[in-house]
Amino acid sequence: MPPDENGTRRPRRRAGFESATKAQDQLDQVRDLLAIPEEDDDETRRKIGDLIAEAIARKAKLPDVEETRRLVKVGADVADDPLMAEVLVAFLAAKQTAVSLGKLARNTYRSYESHDRLYLRPHLGRIRHRKLRVRHLDSMYEAILEHN
Query: With 90 as the cut, is the pLDDT of residue 54 above it?
Result: no
Chain centroid to Cα 39, Å, comes to: 18
Residue 45 placed within a domain: yes
Helix axes 20-34, 42-58, angle to 10 degrees: 150
Work out the pLDDT band at 11, boundaries 50, 70, 90. low
**Residue numbers of the domain that contains 89:** 81-147
Q: Return the amino acid letter for 74.
A: V
Q: What is the mean pLDDT of residues 41-54?
A: 86
Same domain, 14 and 43: yes
- Residue 69 and residue 28 in contact, taking contact as beta carbons nearer than 8 Å: no
Using one digit for the tens of pLDDT, what is the confidence trace for 87-120? Answer: 999 999 999 999 999 999 999 999 999 999 999 9
Residue 143 placed within a domain: yes
Residue 69 placed within a domain: no
Same domain, 3 and 31: yes
Whole-number pLDDT of residue 82: 78
Listed residues 36, 64, 92: the one ending a domain: 64
Listed residues 34, 64, 94: the one ending a domain: 64
With helix as H, strand as E and coil as C, how does 33-67 read?
Answer: HHCCCCCCCHHHHHHHHHHHHHHHHHCCCCCCHHH
